Structure 1
């Protein structure tokens, strides 16, 4: 179990919990390594694929721009930043009523209030199968209920999370927009969507549904432009020949190994190489 991180928030010492979302491809497993590479940071921290925000929460920068194309994800962060007490109260209601039938009722529910939307998002993330985020062609969340029933956890500290988020501007938008505003001395950490399971088997075709090859090229070009402006760049991506070729002219490449957890049973899980690009 990870040791909690102790931070100074205003005049009080508050124990900061780990990231509150379970996210496919999340970088909690390598966040300490990335934080070592980043420190010291004098400029702004920019993360254009926010997800669970593992590196942001481990680093706790003084200034940050956090963005993602997923509106519900950004809304959840904003709701916690603005009023964590409201989100907590709604999560307590979800905990009290949780069941298989309740899960599917909430999954089909379409709230308009930002706090109800955020609580629904967190509830589904914590009780769906493997914390997977997936939508159908209509943009509707369609992951089945999982085996976990804990909506609230002992490590939760919504007020500490809210405090950390006060230093961040949260934006829903395309990754290129966030990278292009980075200035000399800033740090961009980019963790685009990809799967490592198909590194050697139909990688481009399989990953195109997650993040197109055109987007991979667009991301590389945006990061090269940032580098030329004096921006520090760190990227995580799949360890595949096509990705190595895409970045090797402009950046240093390092292989890191991780365990895959997105499988129905441990027998189908394994260890995979990923690329650290900087």
Structure 2
């Protein structure tokens, strides 16, 4: 069972971003990891909950979402300037300001980053969703505070300073891994024969073929000696895909991706591990 494994303590730092499918809940439960590793690699970055909990000495943090990667780079490289812009949004926040910012087309990396986190913190349920033209289209939520009390982006910058932060396809990232690396892999939860085999992932399609490509890349990484933990949908098609080579466990959690608390319930997710202690 999962509680028989070596687990990590609660997060050493909390993520600054809310992200659909984020793994704060997994951090709070504890998750299997190598007893020692040299570098953490995350090919699907999201809120970086695992990175912030482990605080590794080296990391590759990657995602195909350009806006997401720009946000992490700006906070790493220009934290004080970023915080000043975010504070300006905090001071101006209103219904009109939200929608004015949402429709802005911004070229400057620093301003783009501040816009993204402002919208993330004030939109409905912290959801990141874009339309077919790649435009963020989530309505305003109920939160009125943009900056948390005592929030310190200089500290986030120091934590992120050890990381290479890259925008690229997951396979490119996984192919960088080898002996001494810990791969934490949290892809979009596509399953076979569901929604015609794909779900929307930013402006890109993450298909069942991508799930197959991901599993193949992870097996190659495992053969090079990387320790791997995968979270995915707890579905027969995924269990079949990872049945060979990987250990499996099902873990329950509370679902929070719904418009109202009344529609949020319990669900299970799958954990698949390679070159880690087995689940049983």
What runs of 5+ residues in structure 1 fail to find an aligned partner?
A: 7-15
- Tell me the residue number matched to 2:199: 208
Deviations 1:100-125 (A, max 9, x none): 11101101112211111110000000
Q: Is residue 29 of structure 1 aligned with residue 29 of structure 2? A: no
Classify 1:238/1:162 alpha carbon distance in 2 versus 1 (closer, same or farther; 3 Å). same
Deviations 1:155-193 (A, max 9, x none): 522111100001100000100000001011211110001
User: Shift of the alpha carbon at 1:39?
Assistant: 4.3
Aligned-partner SS, 2:244? coil
Q: Is residue 169 of structure 1 aligned with residue 134 of structure 2? A: no
User: Shift of the alpha carbon at 1:208?
Assistant: 3.2
Q: Is residue 91 of structure 1 aligned with residue 86 of structure 2? A: yes
What is the CA–CA distance in structure 1 between the aligned matches of 2:66 and 2:163, rounded to whole Å? 16
Scaled by the length of structure 2, the TM-score of the pair is: 0.88
User: Shift of the alpha carbon at 1:265?
Assistant: 1.4
Q: Name which of 55, 61, 78 aligns with 1:60.
A: 55
User: Shift of the alpha carbon at 1:204?
Assistant: 5.3
What is the CA–CA distance in structure 1 between the aligned matches of 2:195 and 2:181, rounded to whole Å? 31
Preserved CA contact (<8 Å) 1:194 1:207: no
Preserved CA contact (<8 Å) 1:32 1:58: no
- Tell me the residue number matched to 2:40: 45
Aligned-partner SS, 1:209? strand
User: Shift of the alpha carbon at 1:31?
Assistant: 1.8
Preserved CA contact (<8 Å) 1:238 1:275: yes
Classify 1:144/1:53 alpha carbon distance in 2 versus 1 (closer, same or farther; 3 Å). same
User: Shift of the alpha carbon at 1:205?
Assistant: 3.4
Alignment of 1:1-278 (within 5 A): 16=13, 18-33=14-29, 36-154=31-149, 156-194=151-189, 203=194, 205=196, 207-210=198-201, 211-278=206-273
CA RMSD of aligned residues (A): 1.9
Deviations 1:137-171 (A, max 9, x none): 11111111111111101252211110000110000
What runs of 5+ residues in structure 2 fail to find an aligned partner?
A: 1-8, 274-280
Deviations 1:200-238 (A, max 9, x none): 9x6453753342101100100000000011111100000
Deviations 1:51-105 (A, max 9, x none): 0000000000000000000001110000010011001000110011111111011
Classify 1:163/1:230 alpha carbon distance in 2 versus 1 (closer, same or farther; 3 Å). same
Preserved CA contact (<8 Å) 1:60 1:164: yes
Aligned length: 261
